[in-house]
Amino acid sequence: MGITAEFTLGSEVRTDDGFSGELRRMVVAPANRVLTHLVIAPRHQGGRRRLVPITLVDQTPDGLRLHCTTAEYEALVAADETEFVVDPTGDPSASPSAVLHRGDKAQATDAGVGRFHGLVVEPDGNRVTHVVLHDGHLWGKRRIAVPIDYVTDIADGVQIGLTKDQVRDL
């Protein structure tokens, strides 16, 4: 496997001119499983969430870096009520993208297996390689990276084509 980047909900997001925000949601095109946009919320009160194209984002050791100014961020599409995003190419016949939320349930073929936490993405092409889940409780929490090939649907939580035992063995 080549170099990958992990996008974790709640990660800090910054611009060079001082904007500070937090990764709240991720938008994945289901047809080709490519991460297309991030929903970023400002840390200050009164700011609006914005839909940020993945092409404006880099991962750094300190979090995520946006290749735009605060003013350019503010000019991006508001994402306060966004649940689905039309294909970024503008093709109205394309399937809408699914929006993943922190804590969305993950369901194996026979039982629940945790909650959505983040994605592992190949930087070259932004193809999603794994879905990261949190499973357990306060004293026994663990992260599980599920290869995207086992994910059967993301429109209503994360549906996984494995049994609960197979997921826990990953």
Q: Which of 55-59, 78-82, 88-92, 140-144 has the lowest mean pLDDT?
A: 88-92
Q: Where in the chain is the domain with CATH 2.30.30.240?
A: 101-168
Dihedral of the alpha carbons of 62, 78, 24, 121, in degrees to the nearest 10 = -70
CA atoms within 13 A on the CB side of 161: 8
Topology of the domain covering 5-98: SH3 type barrels. (2.30.30)
At 80, list the tokens: 């306060």
Topology of the domain covering 101-168: SH3 type barrels. (2.30.30)
The answer for residues whose C-beta is within 8 angstroms of residue 30's C-beta and 6 or more apart is 95, 97, 98, 153, 154, 155
Q: Tokens 């983040």 belong to which residue?
A: 118
pLDDT 10s digits, 4-41: 778 888 889 999 898 889 998 888 887 788 888 999 99
pLDDT 10s digits, 92-142: 444 556 677 778 899 999 999 999 988 888 877 788 899 999 887 767 788
Neighbours of 68 (CB within 10 A): 20
User: pTM for the complete prediction?
Assistant: 0.68
Write down the pLDDT at residue 86: 41
Q: Closest Cα to residue 28, out of 101, 105, 110, 78?
A: 101
